[in-house]
Amino acid sequence: MTTERPFGRALCAMITPFTPSGGLDPDGAGELAVRLVAEGCDGIVLNGTTGESPTTSDAEKAALVRAVRAAVGPDVPLLTGVGTADTRHTVELARAAEAAGADGLLVASPYYSRPPQAALEAYFLRVADATGLPVVVYDIPGRTGTRVEPATLRRLAEHPRIVAVKDCSYDLYAAGRLIAETPLAYYSGCEELNLPLYALGG
């Protein structure tokens, strides 16, 4: 794992396959993950919004990580989404993800409650302190209602396990400054900004 590309360059936010009866399909998930890696993904993001995380149970989230880890082996980076509106719940999910074999945590801001920046900082630090896994801060104010401000990200970058940002802020100026001034790796979460963010060092 390098500072510049802690999880590789191209990560795929994977859907979560289900059976016709509505249950989790671990075999289908493993097959899909293997195919994505074969087609060029450096790593896989599980339990994100694309992966139906708002509607899957905690047990299903952990089972998905275990199934994909078994399918792709130990060398493919697996990130898993753990962000919720409740710090305690997020910490529980983070610990379960670590036990299930995840390599990193994708942590969105608490949604709906729109906490102030000091509370956001405390939330991310609490999650980062809860496990030994690296943390990717997911800055997506259009979904959560709260921007992770650049000053907050600068402070979070001082934590040894907060290593990256998945950026959906649409603020290329701030992203460029943070790429230049912090060790945070930047991953584009908005396809239309892939090229400009890459040009800035993301």
Question: Model confidence over 31-62: pLDDT tens digits?
Answer: 999 999 999 999 999 999 899 999 999 999 99
Residues 91-105 pLDDT 10s: 999 999 999 999 999
Average pLDDT over residues 191-196: 93
Average pLDDT over residues 109-116: 93
Average pLDDT for the chain = 95
Percentage of the residues of the chain whose pLDDT score is greater than 70? 98
pLDDT at 115 > cutoff 70: yes
What is the enclosing helix (H) or strand (E) of 117? helix 117-130
Residue 112 among the catalytic residues: no
Per annotation, catalytic residue among 111, 112, 123, 138? 138
Q: What pLDDT band is residue 1 in, cutting at 50, 70 and 90?
A: very low
pLDDT at 189 > cutoff 80: yes
pLDDT at 3 > cutoff 70: no
Fold of 11-200: TIM Barrel (3.20.20)
- CA 106 vs CA 3, 27, 85, 133, 151: distances in Å: 16, 23, 14, 10, 20
**In three state form, how does the secondary structure of 131-199 look?**
CCCCEEEEECHHHHCCCCCHHHHHHHCCCCCEEEEEECCCCHHHHHHHHHHCCCEEEECCHHHHHHHHH
Q: What pLDDT band is residue 202 in, cutting at 50, 70 and 90?
A: very high
pLDDT at 114 > cutoff 70: yes
Residues 61-86 pLDDT 10s: 999 999 999 999 999 999 999 999 99
Q: So what's the pLDDT on residue 20?
A: 95
Per annotation, catalytic residue among 61, 123, 166, 186? 166
Residue 138 among the catalytic residues: yes
What DSSP state is assigned to residue 20? T
Which pair of structure tokens corresponds to residue 116? 């102030």
Residues 128-158 pLDDT 10s: 999 999 999 999 999 999 999 999 999 999 9
Q: So what's the pLDDT on residue 5?
A: 81
